[in-house]
Amino acid sequence: MQKTLTSIVFKGETQEGYHARISLGIVMAGEHVLICVAWPYANGPLHLGHVAGCYLPPDIQARFERACGNRVLMVSGSDEHGTPITVTAEQKGINPQQVVDEYHAINSKALIDLGCSWEPNIDPRGVEFGGSLFNRTSDPMHKQIVQDNFTSLMEAGLFERKTMQQYYESNSDGSGRFLPDRYVEGICPSCNEDGARGDQCDSCGATYESTELRNPVSKMNPEAKIEIKDTDHFFYRLDLFQKSLEKHASERQSVWKANVRAMTKQWLDMGLRSRAVTRDLSWGIPLPLEGNEWKGKCVYVWFEAVQGYYSCAKIWALRHAQDAGHPGGQDAWKDWWCVSKEGASPRHLYFLGKDNIPFHTVIWPALILGLNHASKGKKDSDSIEMPTSGELALEANVPAMEYLMLSGGQFSKSRKHAVWLPSFLERYNADYLRYYLSINMPENHDTDFNWPDFVEKINSELIAAYGNFVHRVLTLGARLPSGNNGPLTDIEDVQLTAPHRIKLEEIHASITDSLSRHRYKEALRYVMSAAQYGNQILQAATPWKYLKSDDDSDEKKLSLSTLAFGWRLSRFLAITSQPFLPFSAAKLWKALGQTGDISLVSWNDAINWEIGMTWNDETPIPLFERLDLEAILESEKSLADGDTAKKDEESVHVVKGGKKSKKEMNEMSEAPEGITYLDFETFMQVDLRVGKIMNVENHPNADRLYVVKLDDGSEEERTICAGLKQYYKPEEMVGKTVVFVANLKPRPLRGVTSEGMMLAADDGKDGVRLVTIDGDIATGSQVR
């Protein structure tokens, strides 16, 4: 029986209603969702910390929303202005444009290589379903839009003009320039350390007014004369928006995560003050103002980069949607930005790291409200109103992430303490990274990246559960006679598999609910639980025993029917893992004999049990390859050594693996001396099983070893090399029921590959005895 799922569009639905509906498995189709991805700064390559915090979660969300039938527009791009870029350019002796051109190219390629859906620009289902654009803030159209917004906010009286004091360097020839804080160095007024920056000291962490810095010099031009001069700037009147933003924050209480609520409250509680929107710098968007006094000043980078979410949607409409025939033409962006005639808001989701929260819950909403205010011709004395029909909408949620740490230390571009995304993707499968970062996502607290954990999670979770399950189904299926409809169609008995369908429908509802609440880690765990369920039912059904048998027993029917259901479960896995593992899901899709692009398959089709069981006649190839920790550590070490040799002055810390995080260290230090505690999860990863010794022979090339053949409950015997020659004669061992480690990595021992290890007790002198089982139990049984 097929569960019927209804697709309904609910206009103006509350968040609570939305979650209630989602948990009932009713997926809404056709909603406009704007996915706003934090703009990476084009001053260096992206590192894994950025990916886990800002770039992977929105892609998972976008893929999920599309599968649910929603209309998704995803926007972001390179943030290309500001002083860190000019500092890099001056240090390298090139111009800032060269810096941003280089990193825009590197970062946009790395994001696409990671499988983030920045291509194509138009949704393959049609332009009305949206698309994506990864733009850049040096785009002339972005500049134009920012200047237009600057003018309208200014005309509405939402700016105030103030005089500030700023360092100025003058050369002997009479030329000179104002110096941004990063361009000034001196002695810290707090700790007396030399090399403190204009407004903050890296050594003691103090922040201060730049006028308090002692012995200030220009970083780039230490010979220049340096003095403090008055300079005029415009400030945005954030204070006018205090009440509206408090109202907005209280409406979002039940939706925002705890960290978002807390940081926003902190800002609002302090009371909002006006914030500078212009500065003395030439690398940026020029002010749309006449007069010599504004020469050499530009729009402050914070003020323009955040408008990229808006400009990018407009540029997408003009350059892509219009040509693709969107009925709204160059106004297509309004479907994703403006409150509809009926009063429904498009759903705006902003993805960013926790350091950026107030920008997206306070500052950007204040600008949006200001733009709406100005568009109605209102002035600073008029009261600020919440968005109504035709106006720009505010965010629906800001699912900000905590930090991903690198073996305990925070990722940071400036400290060169990172694993870079582009070089990671040259060496490893993108889906391995997507899996690891998703299952380890820093959703509610900081998490840690280290190589041993990475290898462990890929080998013992992704491959052992997911990869092995689908490969077993496909290889077992390939051994059955292939009829006209593939080998599985005729052996499926829908009555016998009914409980499995119910189980998967429950898991499907859980995944859907978790994703709609931005709980990516939890959602992926549910996906993996389906793979584990598959392994369990297949192990219990032992279909390999019936592949060639002619009997017509009920056992055989049940067993092979379970194998056939394995195909359905694999298809379920392909669809539900697609947001997380797009490359592997596409491979699996093809291996199952399914056609078309899996990213266009409807989310609910994962539990459509009426689909015909297609088959691919090619020999099944495993989806994944196991990782070898030793080899990885070796190659990472040589890379790190190479880096260190190249730029030893920069103190490069590339992860060498094996280091413990602070938390792990604390936990370990609580163990009594001489004992190393194992956490429970680690222990549970050891797969102990029951086997029966069938045959024992001398190892051909090793005097002390036996080659033992074990019935491990599967269709084939398992080979184990055991150092038991001193303690047992072969005939004493044969027939014993023993305990063995089933998931030990196979290793070659002088020409014979050993696939596990038998447990034995060792008294440390001459006594070694095998661990055996009390009474009768099936081979392959789990030991817990």
Q: Is the Cβ–Cβ distance between 395 and 363 less than 8 Å?
A: no
Which residue has tokens 């922040």? Answer: 207
Please state the closest distance from residue 413 (CB atom) to Zn ion, in A. Answer: 22
> Which SS3 state, helix, strand or coil, does residue 304 take?
helix
State which residue, 214 or 229, has the beta carbon closest to Zn ion.
Answer: 214
What the block records as the tokens of 376 is 């109605």
Looking at 99-107, 190-198, 592-600, 696-704, which segment touches Zn ion (CB under 5 A)? 190-198
Work out which of 24, 204, 228, 777 binds Zn ion, going by CB under 5 A. Answer: 204
Binding mask 662-691 for Zn ion (x = CB under 5 A): ------------------------------
| Per CB under 5 A, 188 contacts Zn ion | yes
- Taking the C-alpha atoms of residue 461 and residue 467, their distance in angstroms, rounded to an integer, is 9
Best CA proximity match to 63, nearest among 361, 373, 431, 381: 431
Sites for Zn ion among residues 697-736 (CB under 5 A)? none
Angle at 660 between CA 655 and CA 661, to 5 degrees: 95
CA atoms within 13 A on the CB side of 700: 4
Work out which of 15, 121, 144, 190 binds Zn ion, going by CB under 5 A. Answer: 190
Report how many residues bind Zn ion under the rule CB under 5 A.
Answer: 8
Best CA proximity match to 365, nearest among 390, 383, 384, 342: 384
Work out which of 33, 35, 184, 201 binds Zn ion, going by CB under 5 A. Answer: 201
Please state the closest distance from residue 352 (CB atom) to Zn ion, in A. Answer: 29
State which residue, 202 or 232, has the beta carbon closest to Zn ion.
Answer: 202
Residue partners of 373: CB distance under 8 A and separation at least 6: 156, 158, 382, 384, 385
Sites for Zn ion among residues 338-377 (CB under 5 A)? none
Looking at 23-31, 184-192, 390-398, 485-493, which segment touches Zn ion (CB under 5 A)? 184-192
State which residue, 197 or 237, has the beta carbon closest to Zn ion.
Answer: 197
Binding mask 414-453 for Zn ion (x = CB under 5 A): ----------------------------------------
> Which SS3 state, helix, strand or coil, does residue 738 take?
strand
> Which SS3 state, helix, strand or coil, does residue 18 take?
helix
Please state the closest distance from residue 217 (CB atom) to Zn ion, in A. Answer: 16
State which residue, 208 or 294, has the beta carbon closest to Zn ion.
Answer: 208
Q: Is the Cβ–Cβ distance between 236 and 153 less than 8 Å?
A: yes
Looking at 94-102, 188-196, 277-285, 737-745, which segment touches Zn ion (CB under 5 A)? 188-196
Looking at 195-203, 278-286, 493-501, 503-511, which segment touches Zn ion (CB under 5 A)? 195-203
Please state the closest distance from residue 203 (CB atom) to Zn ion, in A. Answer: 5
Best CA proximity match to 395, nearest among 429, 361, 369, 418: 361
Q: Provide the angle, in degrees to the nearest 10, between the axes of the packed helices 242-251 and 258-270.
A: 160
Looking at 76-84, 205-213, 350-358, 518-526, which segment touches Zn ion (CB under 5 A)? 205-213
| Per CB under 5 A, 213 contacts Zn ion | no
Best CA proximity match to 132, nearest among 124, 142, 120, 140: 120
**Given phi > 0 = left and psi -120 to 50 = alpha, else beta, which region is 706?**
beta
State which residue, 198 or 467, has the beta carbon closest to Zn ion.
Answer: 198
Please state the closest distance from residue 412 (CB atom) to Zn ion, in A. Answer: 19
Please state the closest distance from residue 215 (CB atom) to Zn ion, in A. Answer: 13
| Per CB under 5 A, 191 contacts Zn ion | yes
- Sheet hosting strand 225-236, strand order edge to edge: 176-178, 159-170, 225-236, 275-276
Please state the closest distance from residue 184 (CB atom) to Zn ion, in A. Answer: 14
Sites for Zn ion among residues 252-271 (CB under 5 A)? none
> Which SS3 state, helix, strand or coil, does residue 772 take?
strand
State which residue, 209 or 697, has the beta carbon closest to Zn ion.
Answer: 209
State which residue, 204 or 759, has the beta carbon closest to Zn ion.
Answer: 204
Residue partners of 737: CB distance under 8 A and separation at least 6: 690, 691, 692, 772, 773, 777, 779
* Contact footprint for Zn ion (CB under 5 A): 188, 190-191, 193, 201, 203-204, 206
